[in-house]
Each structure stands twice: as structure tokens, then as C-alpha cells.
Structure 1
């Protein structure tokens, strides 16, 4: 799984990085900058401030769901021996973002309830639903069917998938630590001589860039890994190769 995930990313690093930056890192950076500007330049609440923040968050969420579907499409294309075309993957992303939003809402509610019940049920649900997104995108099924499909595919493999989750979290901590360590000289500096009303200091800029970079890497690896895991599960459980996922290109 690990070698397969990074193999897909390595073979298509330019396309994946471009999509992740455009739909992950850049919206995250712009929303963070907008919130900082609002916090520094506006002293009182106003409907315009609320509307601007809400629009920014909605744009970031939509971009994130488009990115998820696009990365899944691109990963499946690579596993099928096809050339990854950014335009085609983005088109697939745009056609799937709304169903993925519904899937994310239901998944979020389920996981929140599970983690409230002494954490363990939340972990079980996270593992059980780990390939719901690629199942939805590839097989073009409904949201509830995607949950059931993920449950069926992960049955009997959940301890191994949990192990992958642990490795992913540890690796993410290491990456976050390295990025924050690289940004630390700027965070510890005195800041840029810019107006206080904007609040744009070296500390804020370095923190926003580091956060956007972490978000980009996290989304890229987790989504490509989910699509690769989906392919591996279909291969081991159903005896089919990546070509069985070709319906995503229809």
C-alpha cells in the first residue's frame, strides 16, 4: 500500500501537486489570509464580515471535495496504465463534489458520535468507511451504497487498515514537525513592518504558508492512498485488477 501510494504520486507528481495546490493549499491560504485581515481590520461584527467568512469557508470545502474526486480519478487512471490528464480529473471532480459533500456530512456525524462513545467506535467506523469516497467516485453509486460498499470491502482487512492509519498519523506528525521547524526562524522573528490593522506579520505569513503546505500534503497522500487501498481491496477480495475500475472514465 505504502509503495503503491507513493509510486502513483511519484509518477504523476506534477499533475497531483498542481491539483493539490490549486484546490487545497491555495484556498486554505486565501481563507486564512481573509480571516486574518478581517480580524485585524474590523473591530466590530457586521453582516459583511460574516458573509465573507462563510463564503470563504464554503469555497474551501467545495474545492476540497473537487480535489478528492479529482485525485481518485487520477489515481485510477495511473493504475490502469493511462496518462493522467489534469483537465479530465478536474472534470470528474466537479461532477462529484456535491455527492461527496453529502457523504462527508453523514460520515462526519457518524464519526463524531462514534468518538463521543469512548473513541473506539469512532475508530472502527473510520476504518470501516475508509474507501467510501473512491467507491462513490469509481462505481458511481449512491451515498448510502458507498458506505455499504466500503464496509463490505474492508471486512476481514480492518486490522491491517488500522495499522496503515497509525503509520499515516505518525508520518503526518513527522512531516508537520519538519515543516514547522523550517518555518520557526520566521515565526520567531520580530515581524514585518506592516500596519497593525491588517495584522500581516512574518509570524502570521509563515504560519499560514506552513498550514497550507501541511493541508496540501495531507489531502494528497490520504486521497491517493484511499484510492490505492480501494484498488488493492478489490483485487484481493474480488480478484479483479485496476481495469475493473474503468467505469470512472465513462
Structure 2
């Protein structure tokens, strides 16, 4: 058993353990995501090429190089059709494949936690054994998240419009306050339920929401903060790479491939972080369960 997994970790220790695991086992973790999403991104590239997008460098009209690059992102019917179709296809297939890749990485980390040997093929096979429970639970979580977002949007819109009719500044302030309040509330709720996936993967409970709620008790704000940090890191890496290559390649197929490969890397980091947080919660929860069992054993029976 890896000692790092046996002790409860603080905020910084979780981040450190995440990047340590990602660095030491980068080849295996990245390969898992590449196996599942690589062919999908290749198909997207072929669709974009067929729609007329240049592979190496796409430029638009303009007198200077900078204007040509910027104009390459201007809407044109042919280019947008291929790009939109490619993005929609990737998104649709990702819904069905991403849970397997995520589960495979979690199984790999579980083997590392226990000090066991594994292969990429063996953890992928384990992941497929839990495919339908994972897919069903993920779709259900997505529907819950959609409902949590759509209702506040309606409320904020109505409140903002009514407030603007009475007094414009009041409507703006009210909309901002409601937006911040709902964003934090929804974030905390989704954090409490977000570890359903680990519960389903390791056969603890399906769909896993009540198990996740129990695991995250007393750790919601810390986990919420960690999700924000991971999201900021992923956003910074993605935006930096996209802007850097965009200035050279324009809106080209090669740019899409580079951005997609970068997304594999950032998704891998987020998945490793999620697994580290999940196993940390299990250590804390299992310790609490053990204390309760000891307390019940020591309590004299009347």
C-alpha cells in the first residue's frame, strides 16, 4: 500500500500528489486517453479537411499577416459546417467514451495505491466491465446539473428584467447578486454529488449520489476550491497554447489537433486529481466508520 494514499491530505498535498502521479505515470495515463479520444480527434480533422479547412495554415483576406490570421476565424458557411459537425461529433462520442477512459485511469491509480502491477489493457478491461452503470449515472448527473443551471437562469432573467423596469441599477445589482449566489450554491451541490462516479466505478453504490454525499461531508468547501484550482490550471494551459499556435496557424486543422492533444493532457491531470480526492475521501470516511464501529463495540449493551 502506497503510504501517500493511507493518510488524509490537505489542500496543497492533494495538488502535489496529483502532479507527482501525473509526472511519474504520464505514459500510461496519457495513452489511455489517447486510445479512446485519438481516433475521434482524427475523424474530426478529416471532416474539417473535407469541408475545405486548410491543414497547416488557414488565413483570411487582409493586408497584413495579423489581419489574415484574425480573418481566418471569421464565419464562412463551408468552414463552419465542417467545424461544427466535427465538434458535435467529438462531443457526442466523448459522452460514451470519456467515462471508460476516466474509469481506466482510476483503476490504474487504485492498483498503484495497493502496490499492485497493472497494464493499460487490464485497466481498460476493468473499466468496460462497469460501462453501463457508469454511463447511466453520468447521464443522470448531467441531467441534474442541467436542471440546476436552467432554473436559476430563468429566475435571474425574470428578476433582472423586473428590477430593470423599476430601476435599472437595481436590476443589474440584483442580477449580479443572484448570479454569484446561485453559482456558489450550485457549485457546492454538484461538488457534494460529484464523487458518484468513483462510487459506481468501484461498485460501492449505483448511481452513487448518496454515497458521494456521505463521502464529501465536512470537506465540501475544500473540494470546491480544488475543483476551481484544477479548472483554472486547465483553462490557463488551454488558452495559452491555443493563442500561441493560433497566431501562427490561424483557424487550421493542425490548430484543432494541437488544441485537442492539449485537452487530453489537461483532462488527464483533472482525472488524476479527481482520483486522488476520491481516495482521500475514502481514507477519511473509512476512518470515521472504523471509529463508529469501535464506539458501538465499546458501548455497553443494556
TM-score by length of 1: 0.76
Q: Take 2:95 and 2:224, find their aligned partners in 1: how far apart are those partners?
A: 26
Which 4+ runs in 1 deviate beyond 6 A? 51-56
Match of residue 30 from structure 1 = 42
The 5-angstrom pairing of residues 1-250 of structure 1 reads: 1-24=14-37, 26-37=38-49, 39-40=51-52, 58-116=92-150, 117=152, 118-143=182-207, 146-188=208-250, 203-239=251-287
Match of residue 294 from structure 2 = none
Q: Take 1:124 and 1:140, find their aligned partners in 2: how far apart are those partners?
A: 22
Superposition deviation, residue 204 in structure 1? 2.0
Superposition deviation, residue 31 in structure 1? 4.0
CA RMSD of aligned residues (A): 2.7
Match of residue 192 from structure 1 = none
Q: Take 1:99 and 1:39, find their aligned partners in 2: how far apart are those partners?
A: 37
Partner secondary structure for residue 239 of structure 1:
helix
Q: Take 2:260 and 2:190, find their aligned partners in 1: how far apart are those partners?
A: 24
Partner secondary structure for residue 119 of structure 1:
helix
Q: Take 2:221 and 2:18, find their aligned partners in 1: how far apart are those partners?
A: 19
Q: Take 1:214 and 1:75, find their aligned partners in 2: how far apart are those partners?
A: 22
Q: Take 1:112 and 1:54, find their aligned partners in 2: how far apart are those partners?
A: 18
Contact 1:31 1:57 in 2 (8 A): no
Contact 1:69 1:93 in 2 (8 A): yes
- Note the residue ranges of structure 1 that are not aligned, 5 or more in a row: 44-50, 189-202, 241-250
Q: Take 2:218 and 2:258, find their aligned partners in 1: how far apart are those partners?
A: 38
Residues 204 and 54 (structure 1), Cα distance of their counterparts in 2 relative to 1, 3 Å cut: closer
Match of residue 7 from structure 2 = none
Q: Take 1:81 and 1:154, find their aligned partners in 2: how far apart are those partners?
A: 26
Q: Take 1:225 and 1:6, find their aligned partners in 2: how far apart are those partners?
A: 8
Superposition deviation, residue 88 in structure 1? 1.1
Superposition deviation, residue 52 in structure 1? 10
Superposition deviation, residue 77 in structure 1? 0.9
TM-score by length of 2: 0.64
Structure whose alpha-carbon radius of gyration is higher: 2
Superposition deviation, residue 122 in structure 1? 2.6
Superposition deviation, residue 57 in structure 1? 5.5
Q: Take 2:228 and 2:94, find their aligned partners in 1: how far apart are those partners?
A: 27
Partner secondary structure for residue 118 of structure 2:
coil
- Note the residue ranges of structure 2 that are not aligned, 5 or more in a row: 1-13, 54-76, 79-84, 153-181, 289-302
Contact 2:40 2:90 in 1 (8 A): no
Give a deviation string over 1:36-60, Cα, whole Å, max 9, x none: 24644998xxxxxxx9998765543
Superposition deviation, residue 76 in structure 1? 0.9
Contact 2:101 2:124 in 1 (8 A): yes
Q: Take 1:37 and 1:204, find their aligned partners in 2: how far apart are those partners?
A: 9
Residues 171 and 55 (structure 1), Cα distance of their counterparts in 2 relative to 1, 3 Å cut: closer
